[in-house]
């Protein structure tokens, strides 16, 4: 068996095209329109994903073969989902990235990024193409993961401490919660009752002093630190330091069930990469960003190797995901960061580029290997899902639902409608909005001008063709559903801005629609326009209020 696995992996790892993996070409036509053509909840193989959903042409069929070989290696290494699993409660390794877009991993179709360890993880588990964040910005999305509740219900709907109001806004922001209240039960508090030891590592960002991980059920917390001169031992955002701390925690608790919440600060701006990784990725959209992604992938590989060495791989649920979509506009000192093609916009927007996040789940013997799932799920689902996976009954009163039966291939995806409430203007150029996904229909409602847009994701995954005018009945129905949901969760609302400057509003939100900026195809003139716009956006925020405001 060892010889077979070695041969397969060597074949799969054979270099191509100057050492880069063959590109997974995104389909430019037809109803698939990229990697997320909606399919049945039974899923499909990872190899099939490469061959059809990602639109691989005959020229690139060897890429599909390489992915097929890796998937076969994963099946041989861990066995099918029906084979005997390890007894006892499973461990949980939850890896959360910061601003990692769904298009940032090679296994999702990104041609110019190297992620071999995550690609292999995808073949050994299930990859989701329509996993959603509960809010397209960090703090509320993290709060949703940890509590199982919608940000609108928590009244924590933007990053902490929030963006100050400005005269360029028609509406004022609601006054948000500055932390998740201690009365809101988090994942480790549930797990503790069932004998789990829990460790938090990295970014928190859902509360300050007195509202940290140790107050919310974690037994240990390792912060880590950023590093402006990355090395193989530190990384640009403390990736290696945090990874080493997780390895030590796992080894110390190898004989009892553990829950690890590893919240990387990567690849959030500002970022830096080792010079050799920048050189290796010289042809990438942004070589530095690509180097950061490669570093992140390397740290994931180290953790997976440690699980193998400790003989814990078969009894550990590994979850890899992100808090929100990738940052598609210039920010800070970074002129070009990433793109979410084929999806519209990115972080801070309730379009697909801001809401869709990467999600890979592996649990040998339980979660099918090499499966790609196109059914939508959302990150409020983790508490009920994890509790059911460890054999416990999920509590009532949560906004998330259990995906346990679906994840393990025993049932179809739960049928439901998805809602978002984002009553904020953002640094990325978005305006107060709500959104609804019902089947393939996606409605986006603007709160500051009562406009609604409607998209059929089955044929328009790029959200370029608004069909609201042709579907007035559907628009009215979905807007009514959104309004009813807002009332049910007690969502906060905006109020008029008495200092509103219409000229500034038109300059920042109408003359430039940042949601339609596509960095993948932008020419130098368009980039110059976006840089100028970004300076104006920064200048719109009162200077005295800027200090400490970080998303």
Give catalytic residues, as residue numbers. Answer: 138, 205
Chain CA centroid to CA 33, Å: 20
Pairing state between β 356-362 and 316-322:
antiparallel
CA 234 from centroid of its chain's CA atoms: 23
Which phi and psi (to 5°) does residue 373 adopt? -115, 130
Q: Are 320 and 107 in contact (CB under 8 A)?
A: no
Q: How far apart are CA 410 and CA 429, in angstroms?
A: 42
DSSP 8-state assignment for residue 488? H
Alpha carbon of residue 57 to chain centroid: 28
CA distance 344 to 419: 18
Q: Among candidates 112, 121, 110, which has minimal Cα distance to 20?
A: 112
- What DSSP string runs through 358-380? EEEEE-TTTSPTTEEE-S-EEGG
- Is residue 49 classed as helix, strand or coil in its secondary structure? helix
| DSSP summary character for residue 331 | B
| Residues belonging to the chain | 551
Phi, psi of 74 (to 5 degrees): -65, -40
Give the C-alpha distances (Å, rounded to integers) separating 61 from 24, 51, 454. 9, 7, 36
Residue 9 Cα to chain centre, angstroms: 28
Q: Which of 294, 320, 329 is nearest to 426 (CA)?
A: 329
* Token duo for residue 524: 């130098």
| H or E element at residue 404 | helix 404-407
How far is it, in rounded angstroms, from Cα 464 to Cα 270? 31
Q: How open is the CA angle 305-307-311, to the nearest 5 degrees?
A: 115
Q: How many helices, marked H, and strands, marked E, lie in the chain?
A: 16, 16
The SS3 of residue 322 is strand
Distance CA 347, CA 334 (A): 15
The answer to whether 377 and 97 have CB atoms below 8 angstroms apart is no
CB 230 within 8 A of CB 274: yes
Token look-up 């028609």 returns: 170
């Amino acid at each position: 068996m060892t010889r077979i696995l070695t041969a397969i992996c060597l074949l799969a790892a054979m270099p191509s095209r100057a050492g880069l993996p063959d590109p997974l070409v995104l389909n430019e036509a037809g109803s698939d329109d990229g990697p997320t053509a909606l399919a049945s909840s039974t899923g499909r193989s990872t190899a099939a994903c490469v061959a059809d959903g990602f639109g691989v042409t005959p020229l690139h069929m060897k890429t599909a073969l390489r992915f097929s070989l890796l998937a076969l290696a994963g099946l041989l290494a861990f066995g099918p989902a029906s084979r005997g699993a390890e007894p006892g409660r499973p461990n949980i390794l939850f890896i959360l990235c910061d601003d990692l877009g769904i298009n940032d991993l090679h296994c999702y179709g990104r041609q110019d990024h190297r992620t071999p360890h995550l690609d292999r993880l995808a073949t050994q588990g299930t990859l989701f193409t329509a996993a959603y964040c509960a809010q397209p910005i960090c703090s509320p999305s993290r709060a949703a993961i940890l509590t199982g509740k919608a940000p609108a219900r928590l009244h924590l709907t933007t990053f902490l401490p929030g963006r100050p109001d400005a005269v360029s806004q028609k509406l004022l922001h609601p006054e948000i919660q500055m932390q998740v209240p201690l009365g809101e039960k988090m994942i480790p508090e549930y797990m503790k009752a069932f004998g789990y030891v829990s460790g938090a590592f990295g970014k928190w960002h859902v509360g300050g002093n007195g509202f940290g991980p140790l107050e919310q059920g974690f037994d240990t917390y390792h912060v880590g630190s950023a590093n402006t001169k990355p090395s193989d031992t530190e990384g640009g955002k403390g990736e290696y330091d945090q990874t080493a701390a997780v390895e030590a925690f796992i080894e110390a608790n190898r004989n009892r069930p553990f829950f690890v919440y590893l919240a990387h600060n990567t690849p959030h701006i500002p970022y830096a990469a080792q010079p050799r990784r920048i050189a290796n990725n010289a042809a990438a959209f942004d070589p530095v960003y690509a180097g950061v992604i490669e570093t992140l992938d390397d740290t994931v590989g180290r953790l997976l190797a440690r699980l193998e060495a400790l003989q814990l791989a078969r009894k550990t649920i590994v979850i890899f995901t992100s808090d929100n979509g990738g940052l598609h506009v210039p920010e800070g000192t970074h002129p070009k960061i990433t793109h979410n093609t084929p999806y519209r916009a990115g972080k801070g927007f309730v379009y697909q580029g801001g809401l869709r996040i990467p999600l890979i789940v592996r649990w040998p013997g339980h979660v099918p290997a090499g499966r790609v799932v196109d059914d939508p799920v959302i990150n409020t689902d983790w508490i009920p899902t994890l509790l059911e996976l460890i054999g416990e009954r999920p509590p009532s009163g949560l906004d998330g639902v259990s995906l346990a039966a679906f994840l393990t291939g025993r049932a179809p995806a739960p049928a439901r409608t998805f809602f978002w409430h984002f009553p904020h203007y953002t640094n990325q150029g978005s305006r107060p909005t709500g959104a609804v996904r019902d089947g393939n229909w996606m409605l986006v409602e603007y709160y500051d001008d009562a406009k609604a847009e409607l998209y059929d994701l089955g044929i328009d995954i790029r959200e370029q063709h608004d069909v609201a005018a042709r579907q007035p009945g559907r628009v009215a129905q979905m807007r009514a559903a959104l309004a009813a949901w807002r009332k049910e969760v007690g969502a906060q609302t905006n109020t008029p801005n008495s200092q509103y400057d219409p000229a500034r509003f038109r300059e920042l939100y109408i003359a430039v629609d940042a949601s339609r900026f596509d960095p993948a195809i932008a020419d130098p003139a368009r980039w110059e326009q976006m840089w100028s716009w970004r300076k104006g956006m920064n200048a719109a925020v009162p200077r005295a209020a800027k200090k400490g405001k970080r998303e």
